[in-house]
Structures are given as C-alpha cells and as structure tokens.
Amino acid sequence: MAHLLVYFYKIKPEVKEKFLDICAQTNKKFQEYGGVTEQIFKLSSMPKNYGISSISESLDVEEGEELWIGLLRFQSEEHARMTMHDFDGDREVNELLNEFVTYVAPLEKLLFGEFDSGQEVVEHAGINKTK
C-alpha cells in the first residue's frame, strides 16, 4: 500500500529560490536513500470558490506568504520508515534543514502528515472491482 509524507510550507516569495534550491538538494538525497518520488507544488494564486473552505484560509496563510506542498511517495509505510531513518541521519541533510530554518522559514511555518493509500479501502468496499 502506497504511503505519502505531506509537508505544507508557508514561505515568503523572496525566499522561493532558496527554498527550491534546498528542495532540489534534499530530493537528490531522498532518492539516494530509496525514496520513490518527491514533488513540490505552489498553491495557485487565484483561489476558486466552490462553496467550501480554502486551504489557505484553513492553514492561516498570512498576507505576503505563499503556500507550497511537498509530497514524498513511498511503496509502503515500512519503506518510508527505513528510507527516512537513513535520510534523517545524513549529515548533509541535517545541514540543509538548518539552512532551511535559517534562511527560508522557521519550523512552525511547516505542517506535516503521513497518509496511506485508500486503494485497499476502495477495493474492499467493492467500488473498484473489475468484471
């Protein structure tokens, strides 16, 4: 079952290039340690109103901040645990984290969550059965 680590980053536009540079470097390390994919997206600046709450409002994105999301994909929760153990223990990765906190955003501007694929649930419920 696929497993995702999801990061929300609230950053100032003027540090975007530094943010993307650090992400590129950590992505390389992430893949060296066996991560499947890492993708970074910026929230669209023109929010649509579909009659539901927006992410930027719910996450208290301040005026002058951009909201970015990082998605790190793994084959399973066990794969995530093993990969991140090695990744987190890497000296260069820790230096990049310190650089991130110093030049991009303090840790309180980040939100984090882990997600498992719902595919098994969907298949179990009979929603995705093949004929």
Task: Give me the pLDDT at residue 123, please.
Answer: 55
CA angle, corner 94, sides to 56 and 29, nearest 5? 85
Q: What is the largest CA-CA distance in the chain?
A: 55
Residue pair 15/105 in contact (Cβ under 8 Å)? The answer is yes
CATH topology assigned to domain 3-45+59-111: Alpha-Beta Plaits (3.30.70)
Please, which pLDDT band fits residue 131 given cuts at 50, 70 and 90?
Answer: very low
- Give residue-wise pLDDT tens across range 72-122: 999 999 999 999 999 999 999 999 999 999 999 999 999 999 999 976 544
pLDDT of 56 above 90: no
Q: Where are the domains of the chain?
A: 3-45+59-111
Residues 6+ apart with CB under 8 A from 12: 64, 65, 66, 105
CA angle, corner 29, sides to 27 and 30, nearest 5? 60
Give percent of the chain with pLDDT exceeding 90.
73
Number of alpha carbons in the 13 Å side-chain half-sphere of residue 28: 8
Please, which pLDDT band fits residue 130 given cuts at 50, 70 and 90?
Answer: very low
pLDDT of 2 above 60: yes
Rounded to two decimals, what is the model's pTM?
A: 0.83
Task: Give me the pLDDT at residue 31, please.
Answer: 92
Beta strands in 43-125 (DSSP E): 66-74, 110-116
Question: What's the mean per-residue pLDDT of the chain?
Answer: 89
Task: Give me the pLDDT at residue 120, please.
Answer: 59
